[in-house]
Amino acid sequence: MTQAGMARAATAEAPETTPPSADTAPAETPADASGIVVTGLRGVHLRSLTQSPAPVDVVQGSQITQAGRAEFGEALARLLPSINFVNNQAGVTSIVRPIVNRGLGPAYTLVLVNGKRRHNSAQITAGTGDNSGVNPTDFDLIPQGLVGQVEVLKDSAAAQYGSDAVAGVVNVKLRNADHGFGAQFTAGSLYQGQGELQSWKAQADAGFKLGDGGFLHISADGRHRGMAWWNFPATNGNFYGSATAPDAAAQAKNATWNRDGAHNGDPRIDAWDVAYNARLPISDTVALYSFGTYGQRLSAAGNNVRRENGQASFDSLFPNGYIPINNISENDWQFVLGADGDLSGWKWDLSTSYGRDRAHHFSELTINPSLGPNGPTSFGNLATYKFKEWVSNLDATKSYDIGLAKPLQVSFGAEYRYDTFRTVAGDPDGYRNGSYIYQSGDQFEDVNVGKYALVGAQSSFTIRPSEEALIHRGVLSGYGDIGLYPLRRWYIGVAGRVEHYSDASGTTVGGKFNSRFDFTSHFALRGTIGTGFRAPSLSQIAYAQTDNRTTILNGNIVPALSVLARNDSPLARALGATNLKPEKSVNFGFGAVWEINRDISITADAYQVTVKHHIIRTGNLYGANVRAALLANGYTGTEYVTYFTNAVDTRSRGLDVVINGRHNFDRFGKLDLTASFNWNKAVIQKIADTPGAIGSLDSGFYFFGRDRQGELSVGNPQTKLVLTANWALHPVNVNVQTTRYGELTYWRSQFSSQDLRYGAKWVTDIDIGVDVTRFAKLSVGAANVFNVRPDAAGPIDANTGVASLVYGPSPFAPSGGYYYGRVSVNF
């Protein structure tokens, strides 16, 4: 089921609407005739729908826009306390920045658009904060211009929606007005930093009548974000000459270096999207609908410097060293076609959806040092990633009056999903070993004569033919769902789902029990018990790559050539890898709802989610047995090795609290206040034993070390508080939001003595808008108006000065303040 469960979970009466202004959407059409997809509630003030049997948040599309420089995923994390933003700041992993929900990674939150499953990205997560290796849904490829509102079901729903809804469901509702035109242009700049600090985004949408009672709503977006970084000056001033004893000539040249050692931070993004949403009634009981998105994104990410006196540079190519660039060209699209209607009281919905994402990796600036000074300085093809998904659904629901307090609601449905994941090898020059040995004249003062140059295109992911993946999987699912009211104030919901996977994941059955009891018209208790099952993602099963970047070893940044081996490859099996087992989860939720009066409400919901056989990437492995396995499989024997495995059992416990209030001061305007709080603690309950085949590892290497454990247990702050105030007095609207991120301890190595502690921070956003005419609005604002940055608690890497180590896995962007202006028109 991809719709009916959330429809029941989020059913609520719409609060009063606000008057339209120049940056709000045209009025939405009435609810879809089927009643299955969650309908938009225009003008919602109470984000948490207090009448639902499960906790639900609602965010308006205009709130996403008001987030300034932030893109879709980051904007959600700013608005909702249970969601955190994986803020990778280095290389290719900084392009896709997924969300963490209730302490669980992106694999555990299902993303829907108009109630239909959104396809995944082709790229995998493999960076600080999440090393699960899944290919998550990329929120930033959903066009913002067509987003009407976002509904977040904060409840485990795997038994209703499928295996990836363990932490909850995010449903993006597209605009569906049959008239009007709106456009916005936002431009601004970071307050400080290096690189290109400016960015802009533009969006426009329009609605049209379609047939008798139908609509067509279209949109187009474009955006540019500059490549910016905020690193510290490198403290090792010996950029040239001998690493141990620079002579006078080297010291003189060192004095000219500007200490710019890294360009880690925000990648450059140039992207555009188009989208549509349409509905056409063809009779009194049947309607056709369709929606689709298409987008392209071109990105470039900076990296750590390759020093002139290191083994990855040549004076004839880069006399002052160089900073490699990661580039990704991506195109993404999804098309959905369906029909819904009413047949003898059964509301039905039949649809099919096809989505695809393709990411092509290349580099405008890098070298494979082992090819020598005559090798290429750019690579047009390093690797290609592809993901395709085809989903077909049939959902039906009907109410029966069987003498209970309210009619019994019966729902059932079926789904077939077919997924394909593929990776394609790149240019052999990107990964092959040219065995070049440094010669006299290659570098200033020839500090590396007689040494081998490093192997592989620097700062890049590369894929060899032996690492290519092509894997398919079909999933056939069926569900049943019953909702009943034994008493007028008592709701009970029971759901069950059967899924059959065409691969080794097999067949599973999941269930969910949900209930709510209204003691009075103002106070209610609600709770959930459910089970879940998450099959290994196709990328976790089949993905492999060679990574020519850097890593942290014993707390220090070091060059690294690492191999992520496919789980079933001879290399991984020689090191103890076994077939991945499906993850199993159990969810408990219990909450209270108190509507003090029409304008003030409080919800509090506690939860616990346990996951057994959690799939995660091992730590870097290196030792005698690893070297032997590498040599036996055609590698040099100097690489680090990792692979995906069922490493741990985890438990996430937490509490969500939302307080909403509003007051009309008449001639002094209207004020809306919201306070949202999340406390979450994730722990590892069990760690798998190190496979005997790995043998003894060299110092600093661990099968699943404390640093990897920290990514799952302490990678996010335990507390997050969001306070929002919106005051409107025509023609002025002021929105102020401040977010407190709790303190964070970062486990950066196996030794607790190297832990880094970051204090709690308050980050404040402000947006001030003025309706200059009935149709036009001017706004100015600032994201992080006080230019707050994480504590500079980490050590500054002497060779690079990278801020990603100093600021650690920050839960908010360490880029500081962003100030912007926006013009909006709406007809």
Measured CA to CA, the distance from residue 494 to residue 614 in angstroms comes to 27
**pLDDT value, residue 365:** 96
25 pLDDT more than 50: no
Q: How many residues does the chain have?
A: 827
pLDDT digits (tens, 9 = 90+) for 501-541: 999 888 989 899 999 999 999 999 999 999 988 899 999 99
Q: Quick one: what percent of the chain has pLDDT higher than 70? A: 90
Q: What's the pTM?
A: 0.89
| The two three-digit tokens of residue 570, written as one number | 């001879």
197 pLDDT more than 60: yes
Whose CA is closest to 648, among 159, 104, 88? Answer: 104
Residue with tokens 């089949």: 542
CB 645 within 8 A of CB 577: yes
| The two three-digit tokens of residue 88, written as one number | 């990778």
Measured CA to CA, the distance from residue 490 to residue 525 in angstroms comes to 10
Residue 619: C-alpha distances to residues 642, 792, 809 (Å): 6, 26, 18
31 pLDDT more than 70: no
**pLDDT value, residue 6:** 45
More confident residue, 339 or 259: 339
Measured CA to CA, the distance from residue 721 to residue 677 in angstroms comes to 4
Q: Quick one: what percent of the chain has pLDDT higher than 90? A: 61
**pLDDT value, residue 713:** 87
| The two three-digit tokens of residue 443, written as one number | 């570098």
Pick from 30-44, 445-459, 472-486, 682-696: least confident: 30-44
* Sheet of strand 545-553, all strands in order from the earlier edge strand to the far edge: 460-462, 545-553, 556-564, 640-642
* Mean pLDDT (whole number) for 236-250: 78
Burial class of residue 638 in the structure, from the number of CB atoms within 10 Å of its CB (0-12 exposed, 13-18 middle, 19+ buried): middle
What contacts 344, CB < 8 A, 6 or more positions away? none
pLDDT digits (tens, 9 = 90+) for 803-813: 767 777 788 88
Task: Name the band, by pLDDT with cuts 50, 70 and 90, for residue 19.
Answer: very low
**pLDDT value, residue 560:** 66
Cis-peptide into 731, omega within 30 deg: yes
CB 479 within 8 A of CB 413: yes
Task: Name the band, by pLDDT with cuts 50, 70 and 90, for residue 90.
Answer: low
Measured CA to CA, the distance from residue 102 to residue 818 in angstroms comes to 28
What is the chain's mean pLDDT, rounded?
87
pLDDT digits (tens, 9 = 90+) for 667-722: 899 999 999 999 999 999 999 999 999 999 988 888 988 888 888 888 788 999 99
**pLDDT value, residue 602:** 95
CB 805 within 8 A of CB 794: yes
Pairing of strands 109-113, 168-174: parallel
181 pLDDT more than 60: yes
3 state SS of 58: strand
At the fourth CATH level, which superfamily is domain 4-826?
TonB-dependent receptor, beta-barrel domain (2.40.170.20)
**pLDDT value, residue 155:** 86
| 630 residue type, one letter | L
* Mean pLDDT (whole number) for 758-784: 94
Highest mean pLDDT among 10-24, 178-192, 300-314, 547-561: 178-192
